[in-house]
Amino acid sequence: MSFNYEAYNNSQGLHSATGRVGGAYGSSLQDALAAGRPKSSLPTHYRAVPHPMPVLGDVTNRGAAKLHQPVTFDFTTGMRGVPLQDLLSRSQHGVGQILKGAGDAALACTGLKSIALLVTWPGYEHFNFAAPIDIVLPTGHITRGQLGHAVAKCMAAFMEKVGPNGKDQAWKFGNRIRYQDMVLLSIWNIRQDTWQVEIALVM
């Protein structure tokens, strides 16, 4: 039986963001979290994806809540972003050869046992998609490499669910935008146990 993402989203108070404002995405992960973003720029052959921010339920104390630092995914060479395809298909040993800090205990400082990972994409705001990720495993806290693999699986599940039904031709999944062209940059804490994925495209 497949995971019921809609029911999970409802339980988390996650709803679709509302369209565009002024011809551009008026609320994005980049805009909302720019103050805390790492200063290093994207490689020139990357295309940034403007991830729309969701409408979050129960936002009464959201502004006052302390948010955790993002978890970044970089090559051992220091270049930002690691291909989703590598994170999904390589063994953890293989991931450790390309991912900086692959064995680090990711999210251990949060005190959480699981998180809700939110995936958004331009033109697909009408789809609600969040998935749970256990960050305390029988072997201990999830590592950066294991977390990257889990995020890569979530992104693949998102693309399978929504298909080519995007409302923005420039960002519609298909021949022009493919899973194998995506790199994982980071995940950002946007509310308590809710994190949003940040992706870029290789041009």
Q: Are strands 194-202 and 136-137 parallel, antiparallel or unpaired?
A: unpaired
pTM, to two decimals? 0.81
pLDDT digits (tens, 9 = 90+) for 32-50: 444 444 445 788 999 999 9
**Other CB atoms closer than 10 Å to residue 185's CB: what's the count?**
23
Tokens 């729309």, residue located: 52
So what's the pLDDT on residue 48?
A: 92
Classify residue 53 by its DSSP letter: P
The SS3 of residue 10 is helix
So what's the pLDDT on residue 5?
A: 43
Domain ranges for the chain, please list them: 5-202
So what's the pLDDT on residue 42?
A: 86
Walk along the chain (203 residues) in steps of 10 and give the mean pLDDT of each run. 45 39 39 48 90 64 73 96 98 97 96 95 90 96 98 97 92 92 96 95 93
pLDDT digits (tens, 9 = 90+) for 101-113: 999 999 999 999 9
**Nearest 5°: phi and psi at 89?**
-95, -25
So what's the pLDDT on residue 198?
A: 96
So what's the pLDDT on residue 148?
A: 98
Enter the tokens of residue 118: 């939110």
So what's the pLDDT on residue 27?
A: 44
> For residue 111, what are the contacts with CB-CB under 8 A and spacing of at least 6?
none
